[in-house]
Structure 1
Amino acid sequence: MAKILILANNDIGLYKFRKELLSELVKENDVYISLPNGKYIPQLKNLGCYFIETPINRRGTNPLTDLKLLKKYRKILKEICPHIVLTYTIKPNVYGGIACRMNKTPCIANITGLGTAVENGGVLQKITLFLNKIALKKASCVFIQNKENEKFLLRNNVIKGPYALIPGSGVNLNEYSLLNYPSNITINFLFIARVMKEKGIDQYLDAAKFIKEKYPETSFHVLGACEQDYEDKLKEMHQEGIIEYHGMQKDVQKFHQNSHCTIHPTYYPEGMSNVLLESAASGRPIITTNRSGCKEIVESGRNGFIVEQKNSEDLIEKIEAFLSLDIDSKRKMGLYGRKKIEEEFDRDLVVKAYLREIKKLGINN
């Protein structure tokens, strides 16, 4: 059996968004996964994967720590001798890609987003782009999740070899089935994300405060763990009745069932927003920003609305436009969104893209 090594930075993302691919790969291959330990590791093992614990500081910029990660990857490559390596997210892409290049091991990288270091420019951007050029130069294929990332990477000569656009991580259309649209009088809005400034939480809270006062029969829900100092503010606004803060939730489907619209006012460098893909697949209209990784999922006025980044007033305006629609128009928005997901963002499209690239290398799949 062929050996396939997968490098990732967390267990949640690997299980939630790649389990369908892993299920296919383990049928005829030995699949090894290298990532930090976490609560989804047992599920990944149950799929048939062999786990290699690999600590990663996802946001750290200490070069010594990153050098240790590179050494760890080289050690794993030497011990496993994989026929191919699949990498996800920034550090596995960079240091896993460099290790594969040094070891002359075929590698398929997935650009799940460019990251804040690239987004913010300056010295860190130059260093990050330089490292990506080294890592991706000999990659067998680089998967890119949106066209703006594609243009940026090509313009900066980061990618010179084979690459392909894929529809993000796609959506499991059975897992996220079309839900009945709620008919209750109170209109429920959902914010589902890590609670941090770049995800647009400030704009969402501004809008919630204004809309709730003007339209009492609305409810604004926040789902997600606080990654920045918002805990006190969220609890205060929850006690005041402006929002309902639910914290981190494992099962978001039960919230989609009662939701009328998902609001995702992010300006974080997304690859393709899984929150929006899952919301639209569930038949929920979406309001999101005019940035890559989000705007591809929305046809403004058809299955939601697009707003300017960091603009609370524009967000309020679009929420009011949504509230002005009758229930049938809101429902039709959700149905159109589901149709769009079925045609363009089925996860099966992503799985098939991987299997095609692996087959090109003559590896069992």
Structure 2
Amino acid sequence: MKILVLANFGMGLYNFRKELLKELIKQNKEVYISLPNDEYVPKLKNLGCKFVETNLERRGTNPLNDSKLLLHYIQMIKRIKPDVVLTYTIKPNVYGGLACRITKTAYFTNITGLGTAVENKGSIQKITLMLYKTGLKKASCLFFQNGTNLKFFSDKNIVKDKTRLVPGSGVNLEQHTFEEYPCESQNIRFLFIGRIMKSKGIEELLQAAKIVKQKYPNTKFDLIGHCEEDYQQQLNELNKSEVIIYHGQQSDVHSFIKNSHATILPSYHEGTANVLLESASSGRPVLASRVSGCKEIFDEGISGFGFEVRSVDSLVEAIIKFINLPYEQKKAMGMAGRKKMEKEYDRKIVINAYMDEIEKLKGGMI
């Protein structure tokens, strides 16, 4: 059986879906991956995947380039002749879905989040939803990472059936093992992991860090992630004045999670936040905006605290509330988060869902 996977970048495919790829290869499936060539491609090849390069602008809106992408997908599918295509993220979902419809190829789509184009109302949202409706129409299965996204697509009449809810990408419980909580005598360290951009709540976080540092000068704010928007100068200035410690992009985030007391994610929207899954799996409390894709991952006051999205005051309140918790309660929060991950977010749940749908598809082919 041939399986083609369409994605927009290697890091997401390797970090969050390599276990699925390994399982497919283990079951003697011929796995092709198609995405832009980056530093993760050799790692994906080492798993046993066959690589086909696709030039794709993740944020581009040029219709000509998108037309070329659609044509590229059609030609590739005709050449490889996969039994099923797995797609992730907006452009592979839309144009990969269209290519599968044109070539009459079975495909599974994973809605990893609504994305800024859909979250922001207006003409871009209307165009994106129209494209989604066209691209998803004939999908054999539509995987959603949270119930709110599923309801949104259903209410907009983009999807009707063939949907399946999964716990995000799940978390590898062995890779993100439970770590002992940092010693009580250490300064409290908060960790942000994510792309440095407005929709991740970076503006609110930087403002909150300034306020909290004035009241609690020994508190540390570690930030990890590639600066995708125009925040570099601000990061440099706040780093210099020791309001934050900016580490840039890091390949190993687990060591940073291990040394932190809590992870903060003030994101405006998520499918299911992998950063929170990995932090909770490692035994760290999470502080996150009360939005779909974040709020489901923690239990309020038990494994984390929520705060209002886009609100500096609410974020500051949550941070200070956490700082003032007794040490043993902070530690207990981390343990509760790990238990929740074991019960509800094990990555094996996601892998089993995909394998189940592939078996159904195979049954229909016979």
TM-score tier after normalising by the smaller chain length: over 0.9
Q: Deviations over 1:41-98 (max 9, x none)?
A: 1110011110000010011111111000000000001100111100000000000001
SS in 1 for 2:55: coil
Conserved? CA contact 2:287–2:306, under 8 Å? yes
1:74 aligns with 2:74: yes
Q: How do residues 58-73 of structure 1 correspond to structure 2 at under 5 angstroms?
A: 58-73=58-73
CA distance in 1, matches of 2:152, 2:240: 44
- The CA distance in 1 between the partners of 2:193 and 2:116, in whole Å, is 20
Shift of 1:161: 3.2
Residue aligning to 1:314: 314
Report what 2:195 is aligned to: 194
Contact 1:108 1:140 in 2 (8 A): yes
Aligned to 1:39: 39
**Other-structure match for 1:216:** 217
Q: How does 1:41-190 map to 2 (within 5 A)?
A: 41-183=41-183, 184-190=185-191
* TM-score normalised by structure 2 residue count: 0.97
Counterpart of 1:4? 3
Post-superposition Cα deviations, 1:96-134, rounded to whole Å, max 9, x if no partner, equal 001101111110000001111111111111111111111
Runs of 4+ in 1 over 3 A off after TM superposition: none
Offset at 1:332? 0.3
**One-letter identity of the residue aligned with 2:3:** I
Q: Residue in 2 aligned with 1:24?
A: 23
Judge which range, 193-202 or 66-75, deviates more.
193-202
CA distance in 1, matches of 2:16, 2:229: 25
Distance in 2 (CA, whole Å) between partners of 1:257 and 1:33 is 32
- What CA distance in whole angstroms lies between the structure 2 residues aligned with 1:349 and 1:244? 36
CA–CA distance in 2 between the matches of 1:114 and 1:186? Answer: 37
Which region of structure 1 is more displaced relative to structure 2, 164-173 or 153-162?
A: 153-162
What is the number of residues matched between the two proteins? Answer: 362
Residue deviations 1:274-329, cap 9 Å, x none?
01010111110010101111001021101111100111111111111101111100
Preserved contact between residue 116 and residue 199 of structure 2 (Cα < 8 Å): no
Structure 2: gaps (5+ residues): none
What are the within-5 Å matches in structure 2 for residues 264-279 of structure 1? Answer: 264-267=265-268, 269-279=269-279
**Offset at residue 242 of structure 1 (A):** 1.0
Q: Give me the whole-angstrom Cα distance separating, in 2, the residues matched to 1:340 and 1:291.
A: 18
- What are the ranges of 5 or more consecutive residues in structure 1 without an aligned counterpart? none
* Structure 2 Cα separation of the partners of residues 353 and 38 of structure 1: 28
- Alignment partners' CA distance in 1, 2:267 and 2:110: 21
SS in 2 for 1:247: coil
Shift of 1:197: 1.1
> TM-score by structure 1 length?
0.98
1:228 equivalent to 2:214? Answer no
In structure 1, C-alpha distance between the alignment counterparts of 2:125 and 2:242, rounded to whole Å = 42
Q: CA RMSD in A?
A: 1.0
Q: Are the counterparts in 1 of residues 143 and 163 from structure 2 also a CA contact under 8 Å?
A: yes
Partner of residue 250, structure 2: 249
Kept in 2, the 8 Å contact 1:185–1:217? The answer is no
Instruction: State the identity as a percent.
Output: 56
For 2:214 and 2:131, the matched residues in 1 are separated by 49
Q: Distance in 2 between matches of 1:257 and 1:5?
A: 36
